[in-house]
Structure 1
Amino acid sequence: MAPKSPTTEWLAGRGWKAFPFQREVWREMAAGRSGLLHATTGSGKTLAVWLGALQALGDTEAPLTVLWVTPMRALSHDTLLALQDAASALAPTWTLAARTGDTSTSERVSQQRRWPTGLVTTPESLSLMLSRADAPDMLKRVRLVVVDEWHELLGSKRGVQLQLALARLRRWNPGLMTWGLSATLANLEEACDTLAPNAVLVRGAQDKKILIDTLLPERIERFAWAGHMGLAMLPAVIQQIEHAASSLVFTNTRSQCERWFQALLEARPDWAGLIALHHGSVDADMRRWVEAAMKAGQLKCAVCTASLDLGVDFLPVDQVLQIGSAKGVARLLQRAGRSGHAPGRRSRVTMVPTHSLEIVEASALRAAVQAGRIEPRRPPDAPLDVLVQHLVTIALGGGFRPEDLLAEVRSAPSYRALSDDAWAWALAFVRHGGETLRAYPDFQRVVPDDAGVWRVPDVRLARRHRSNIGTIVSDAAMSVQFVTGGRIATVEESFIARLRTGDVFLLGGRALELVRVEGLTAYVRIAKPGKALLPRWDGGQFPISDTLADAMLERFDEAAQGRYSDREMRFVAPLLKLQGEWSELPGSQRLLAEVMTSSDGHHLFLYPFAGRTVHLGLASLLAWRVGRDTPATFTMAINDYGLELLSATQIDWTAQLPALLAPVGRESLRDDVLASLNATEMARRRFRQIARIAGLIFQSHPGEARSQRQLQASASLYYDVFRQHDPGNRLLRQAEAELLSAELDVDALGRTLARLAAQSLDLRQLARPTPLAFPLLVERLRERASTESLAQRLGRMLDELEAAAGGKAVADVGSRLAFGKAPEKTAPRTRRRRR
């Protein structure tokens, strides 16, 4: 009988036994291969790759042998602790450390005296290391890079930044192994190919038991609306928490997180010290304390946001509660995996709907999970701003010869199709800023020396670049103030960017007309009564995913046939049956449209189930297409399920809608979308983010912090100069392309139009709002009334609708609004535009 290996003995000492997929990873790593390990959360992925590294690389003292890349610096401490346990027993000569933006200066200095064997870091910190003059000598010994939570990086510019860094490391060490870890990916082959050339795909445990259930309210609301905090479910949530040893309560926004934490404390003051708060705005030391207390089983509950989606292993957590819909299958699975985080343990997530239609979402989410349907993540295609930043980084890290670096860059999957012209433009941009900026010394960032090696010639420019490495760019907050003086509030820049001069929106209970925008200040005046209103842009909310929307439509298909297959659908049956009696249910093969005339005007309700981002573009597009032939004023309302167009004049939607929804070529659709929105201002804002990554503007200089106002002013100047003197500038073109793909999602809009064209149009004439129309109606009214007057009007409307449906009068709408309504960014909003 063969003797047991040290790894097997170490596992046995903890009562564990290696799984087949873990042994497969060890075999592949022993052979020096790269790979992607895809397995459910809590199934042993980290141990699989880490134990494989310890076995394949041996007990070495060589510095920087392994780099462990994590997408969030907040996870580095927890990851480091997890790695040290096995390393101390199996590789006692190994030293481990973390190096992220949170690492102190003294720690950095200490590391540089003697680099550790294994280093936990982030994509940004890895790029900083590549910018060191001694980078080739320091990093040439790296034999393994592990990318944790690869699905979080794959579809972003941070993932592209990492692709380029890995290409550089492979140049220095062609035998470099790269392993990725992921639990929630659909496009596995693409993810594997993007991670490393010739990488193997190891499919780990996929049979982890996940219990997905729903906390149902006491009674169904047939006429419900979105925009609640869900606090009406507080007593039931408290009961769930009480019956478990330890719980995580996930919310989708920070404001919702704060409200729920306070509500729990007010309801259960005896839980003071036993429940905690965790989100991105909480101090880092406090977040670490919460994580440590949860791991130690000292907390009853933590209320959190996406800040705890990834990586941190909480073995004591029994259950996860999700307040509101997770809006996506992958997100639900990721959060569910925070409970039962160990092989063989069951994970449990309980969905807590904040309104009735989210109960259908809950049923659809579980069905999608059971069918294994998860959203794909697609890597960006050759972003030039990331490439430009990387060129300066490599010029600092020993310099480069363009002909050699081009082959290296093209080995990164996102740049495989990089054209010679684009490469030449990028080189010219870092050498002198292109033809437009050639006269300015600050843009002569990289120049060739006498030997033909391109380097950064100026120490000041080098310090500035290192201070601004990274691709994370946050949305700015804009000040709103009267032209006559007096500040009102702040809103997201992305919302103001969509407005044109003369547009009207509601803020602070007042209807305000936009007069002009200067920098990061929007100047307004009180709007005249009756002027059109636009919606707030809900940038802080998750849109519903295509995968979840498809699953919802399949649930409606079943309900239309009288089948209610689970507890959630049986509970919501009265709402769906009423929808069918008064109109019809939407479906996977049927596009439902409803028209109605009321004292407010003529309504069109349309239900594409494509998410709020697509619905905003679609509503604007429909209004613009109608307005080309007939001048009209439209008020718009959107949510994840549909849209409303309200006009003062009657539109023959039966005759016009098929043509208005007809799919067109991408270029024609692009032109229509850009014409229907304030695309120039939106592209200007997008350009600022690109300019920041490309190094045209800087978040900060060494020892200096620049305000968002200064950044906006600088970016606007460059934007105007390029548009006037260099209209073909590739960064301008990238800004427009990203606007169309990321923010307006023209491709998704095109797919939606194609899908709608293949469906049968079912247009119904309404006598009164249906359960699906009512949420859109309420969101439009919400913009034009105070909570008190809205409560009075809603009370009357609900009484009338329930009476028509043969139900009882609805009591205490005001308390439901005050108690349940989310402030600021949680409700769909309305939009009106004159055409």
Structure 2
Amino acid sequence: MKTQLVNQYFDSIGWKPFRFQRSAWRAYLDGCSGMVHSATGTGKTLAVWMGPILKWLKENPDRSRWNPKRPPPLRVLWITPLRALAGDTEKSLRMPIEGLQLPWRLESRTGDSKASLKAKQLKSLPTAMVTTPESLSLMLTHEKLLESLAGVEAVIIDEWHELLGTKRGIQTELVLARLRRLSPNLRTWGVSATLGNLSQACDSLTGIGGSDKVKVIEGVKKKRLKIGSLIPKRMDRFPWSGHIGTRMVPQVAELVEQVQSTLIFANTRSQTEIWYQHLLKERPDWAGKIAIHHGSLDTSVRSWVENGLRNGSLRAVVCTSSLDLGVDFTAVDLVIQIGSPKGAARLLQRAGRSGHQPGAVSRLDFVPTNAIELIELAAAQDSIKVGNLEARPLLTSPLDVLAQHVVTVAIGGGFRSDELLSEVRSAYAYQTLSDQEWQWVLDFVVRGGASLTAYPEFHRVEVDDGRYQVTQRRTITAHRMNIGTIVSDAAMKVKYQKGSTLGTAEESFLSKLKPSDKFLFAGKLVSLVRIQDNVAYVKRATGKPDTVPRWMGGRMPLSSELSAALRNKVGEAADKKFVGREMKSLEGLFDIQQRWSTVPRPDELLIEAIKTRDGHQLFFFPMDGRLVHEGLAALIAYRISQTKKTTFTMACNDHGFVLQSPHEVDISAAIASGVLSSTNLMKDILSSMNATEMAKRQFRQIARVAGLIQQGFPGMRNTASHIQASSNLFFDVFTQYDSENLLLTQARREVLDLQLEAGRMMAAMDRIAGSRIVIERPDKITPFAFPLLVDKLRERVSSESLADRIARMQAELEKAADAKQAV
């Protein structure tokens, strides 16, 4: 009966189950946990969702006993990485429930859910619940819910690759370990579309020492893709970042005109605001027909946009990764990517937002903001063809997340040390947690560690006859209000003087504005009226913006896989091999680069020494991504300054970095003395940067997650300056009186791993050590060097506008290039 019902349902929606979907259903019915890995828009949701439904149908074959007024208790938890996706996910999951007329109750529980619904759920949980890692962790603090959670049969994690390698992913692993303790036969399933380290991803999902019945089910690996690019009619031979982006607005508008619906992805929230305004300026008649969507907009604004996409009233949405995942917009015909996606997996993920259904073709058009980004697109396409997608590096034993989880469990009924330690070690991220680290965490939450014993507010967990628990109401309330691992700059509401909330912007941006300053937000031009009670009140404005908000986390580094592919594409150009429209369009650029300097091969490092009116410039082109280049620039500048007294200023992009000095540096002698050596690399990396200040900034995040500092309560949020001062005080106290504090150790490690990408830096230095160093001394700035020079100019205040000066420089270089070519 159960199979017949499911077949009838698929017939009713005009689909036929794929083989991989049936494989997933069988595996679920056999009691397995596992991963479903399949291209975006190929039916992954039904692959994991129908398993629990089929099992319930098998257990309840008599339809006459189904009673919608008495739905089954909680059976399935569906974890989504973004609360903005919960509504769409719920609608997708509800379709089979209604199609099969199941008596199930399906609800969401996220930070956006109404308080009345949450209160109702504390009394009775639904049969299936869509939630987030934070909300599920919060549920564990309610002891009365543990009995219901013990009946959970399955946890399904959507878009697992988005959580993998993050502290939210670690938080999810710990919650899963707790649920396995409550429900020993729990099935855990993950869904992912674009992942390089699939085996590791599955291990982190299913845990250590759990069920031996684990399946990795591969679905549709390669969906039909049509990737194009908008290439300017006249390609800049001396490109600079951001220049040709908005210049392409008319061509983008033409593409949007040709289809019914389009998603236009930008890499940063500020970029979405700029592009939305430019499109409206190009097509004023599109007012109300195009919209903007990013994570800082108010929930009501985002919901309006998403509904407009579904019902077809919006023809285009300019968005960030807020629409990267999960949302099933089958109506979207085209995806446009503004600027390099910085990774093949992200390009594939975004392409899959169009034609988001089995058998449909996914179409993406790429708009470069810099001519050199076309090389990145060509490299990404090569990576996709051979299936070389990015792996997500995993985190190991972050103690701030563990401390938060320990307090969570202590609130939700308490624990005994040995039992919880065994449970924690079953989480993949904590399998190597030492007894010493565990005892340190317990001491930290019980008495504040070695240096905070005298302060009762840090005695959060009490021990009574070997049982750890929390009884203080204030501690419980504060912990529940601050659960989570996402730490950003303090956010401030942006609200009309009289009217609705537009969203949030970071306090560090808004605090620098003066009343009447105009800025773009939520696709509107507004001016600041006043800041009061942590709310920025604004009114509509006319004219031109004075600024655009800059949100933290806007920089996406080039992936290591795409970096390698990029070097290969440049190497092909060195051999005069230009494959594809993108590379052929850059022949003029590569021709000048070769004539004035050289085009490096993958086993070469190009260094250009050029004198300009601003000083002596050293351009390095490792092509390892911005974050690696920032570290390498500081390292090499430090090493040179140890042998020659000089000062450096620097700029970096994904392709290289420049060191500017008032004095000429003999780079050949510097290399001979070991500036590119891997010897003492880690020591020199730390010496070359203000490692203490970087660790202090990183510690601020760790202190918040670990519960040392609080963001405050609704309506009483602590300011960024207050949080910073509190964090700095703890850092200084620990450094002076508790130097072995493991949170300090974690901060230093995260600086190396996350901020400096020390592992990639070391790999880059090892690769450079085995490369041939090519030093060129061109008379003029080359096409490769020009974008870096522009980035240097951005940092200086000039009496002439930046655009005017760049245009003049470009004209001079183009004239020189044409003159030399004629000769």
TM-score in same-fold range (> 0.5): yes
Alignment pair present for 1:306 and 2:318: no
Cα offset, 1:766, TM superposition: 1.0
Alignment pair present for 1:634 and 2:644: no
Cα offset, 1:627, TM superposition: 1.1
Partner residue in 1 for 2:585: 571
Alignment pair present for 1:779 and 2:791: yes
RMSD over equivalenced CA pairs, Å: 2.3
CA contact (8 A) 2:700 2:724 kept: yes
Change (3 A) 1:457 1:703: farther
Partner residue in 1 for 2:467: 453
Cα offset, 1:721, TM superposition: 0.9
Change (3 A) 1:346 1:594: same
Alpha-carbon distance in structure 1 between the residues aligned to 2:36 and 2:591 = 45
Alignment pair present for 1:697 and 2:709: yes
Change (3 A) 1:227 1:677: farther
Cα offset, 1:352, TM superposition: 0.3
Alpha-carbon distance in structure 2 between the residues aligned to 1:147 and 1:191 = 12
Cα offset, 1:635, TM superposition: 1.9
> What secondary structure sits across from 1:248 in the alignment?
strand
Alpha-carbon distance in structure 1 between the residues aligned to 2:300 and 2:86 = 13
Cα offset, 1:476, TM superposition: 4.9
Cα offset, 1:676, TM superposition: 1.3
Alpha-carbon distance in structure 2 between the residues aligned to 1:237 and 1:165 = 44
Alpha-carbon distance in structure 1 between the residues aligned to 2:195 and 2:135 = 25
Alignment pair present for 1:295 and 2:307: no
Cα offset, 1:799, TM superposition: 2.8
Alignment pair present for 1:350 and 2:347: no
Alpha-carbon distance in structure 2 between the residues aligned to 1:3 and 1:474 = 48
Change (3 A) 1:617 1:493: farther
CA contact (8 A) 2:244 2:368 kept: no
Cα offset, 1:784, TM superposition: 2.2
Amino acid at match of 2:38: A
1:785-811 Cα offsets, whole Å, 9 max, x none, are 4483444443443233222211699xx
Alpha-carbon distance in structure 2 between the residues aligned to 1:204 and 1:224 = 41
CA contact (8 A) 2:80 2:130 kept: yes
Alpha-carbon distance in structure 2 between the residues aligned to 1:314 and 1:476 = 32
Partner residue in 1 for 2:564: 550
Partner residue in 1 for 2:21: 22
Partner residue in 1 for 2:759: 747
Amino acid at match of 1:200: K
Alpha-carbon distance in structure 1 between the residues aligned to 2:266 and 2:92 = 27
Matches within 5 A, 1:159-558: 159-197=169-207, 198=212, 199-228=214-243, 230-450=245-465, 452-476=466-490, 539-558=553-572
1:598-637 Cα offsets, whole Å, 9 max, x none, are 3332221110001111111111111111111221111212
Q: Which runs of 4+ in 1 moved over 6 A?
A: 490-494
1:628-668 Cα offsets, whole Å, 9 max, x none, are 12211112121110011122222111122255444436xx3
Amino acid at match of 1:769: I
Q: Give the percent of matched residue pairs that are identical in Structure 1 and Structure 2.
A: 49
Amino acid at match of 2:54: Q
Alignment pair present for 1:761 and 2:773: yes
Partner residue in 2 for 1:69: 79
**Which deviates more, 54-63 or 420-429?**
54-63
> What secondary structure sits across from 1:351 in the alignment?
strand
Alpha-carbon distance in structure 2 between the residues aligned to 1:448 and 1:799 = 74
Partner residue in 2 for 1:613: 627
> What secondary structure sits across from 1:727 in the alignment?
coil
Picking from 655, 680, 687, the partner of 2:692 is 680
**Which deviates more, 618-627 or 55-64?**
55-64
**Which deviates more, 226-235 or 746-755?**
226-235
Partner residue in 1 for 2:538: none
> What secondary structure sits across from 1:260 in the alignment?
helix
Aligned length: 756
Alpha-carbon distance in structure 2 between the residues aligned to 1:261 and 1:662 = 44
Amino acid at match of 1:177: R
> What secondary structure sits across from 2:609 in the alignment?
strand
Alpha-carbon distance in structure 2 between the residues aligned to 1:272 and 1:439 = 61
Change (3 A) 1:95 1:172: same
CA contact (8 A) 2:640 2:675 kept: no
TM-score normalised according to structure 1 size: 0.87
Partner residue in 1 for 2:63: none
Change (3 A) 1:65 1:659: farther
Alpha-carbon distance in structure 2 between the residues aligned to 1:766 and 1:658 = 21
Alpha-carbon distance in structure 1 between the residues aligned to 2:716 and 2:801 = 49
1:144-194 Cα offsets, whole Å, 9 max, x none, are 000000000011000000100000110111110000000010000000111
Cα offset, 1:4, TM superposition: 5.5
Alignment pair present for 1:37 and 2:47: no
Cα offset, 1:440, TM superposition: 1.4
1:435-492 Cα offsets, whole Å, 9 max, x none, are 2111211111112223x211102111111111111101003599xxxxxxxxxxx999
Change (3 A) 1:702 1:804: closer
Partner residue in 1 for 2:502: none
CA contact (8 A) 1:663 1:757 kept: yes
Partner residue in 2 for 1:499: none
Alpha-carbon distance in structure 1 between the residues aligned to 2:673 and 2:364 = 44
Amino acid at match of 1:113: K
Amino acid at match of 2:142: R
CA contact (8 A) 1:229 1:256 kept: no
Alignment pair present for 1:8 and 2:7: yes
> What secondary structure sits across from 2:800 in the alignment?
helix
Partner residue in 2 for 1:828: none
Cα offset, 1:91, TM superposition: 5.4
Matches within 5 A, 1:12-161: 12-58=11-57, 61-90=71-100, 92-161=102-171
CA contact (8 A) 1:96 1:119 kept: yes
Alpha-carbon distance in structure 2 between the residues aligned to 1:413 and 1:454 = 24
> What secondary structure sits across from 1:737 in the alignment?
helix
Cα offset, 1:670, TM superposition: 2.7
Alpha-carbon distance in structure 2 between the residues aligned to 1:9 and 1:658 = 74
Change (3 A) 1:660 1:616: farther
Amino acid at match of 2:449: G
Alpha-carbon distance in structure 2 between the residues aligned to 1:205 and 1:211 = 16
TM-score normalised according to structure 2 size: 0.89
Change (3 A) 1:796 1:383: same
> What secondary structure sits across from 2:264 in the alignment?
strand
Alignment pair present for 1:734 and 2:733: no
Change (3 A) 1:223 1:787: farther
Alpha-carbon distance in structure 2 between the residues aligned to 1:96 and 1:226 = 47
Change (3 A) 1:135 1:3: closer
**Which deviates more, 50-59 or 341-350?**
50-59
Change (3 A) 1:595 1:716: same
Cα offset, 1:597, TM superposition: 2.3
CA contact (8 A) 2:75 2:152 kept: yes
Amino acid at match of 1:543: P
> What secondary structure sits across from 2:370 in the alignment?
coil
Alpha-carbon distance in structure 2 between the residues aligned to 1:224 and 1:601 = 21
> What secondary structure sits across from 2:55 in the alignment?
helix
Amino acid at match of 1:757: A
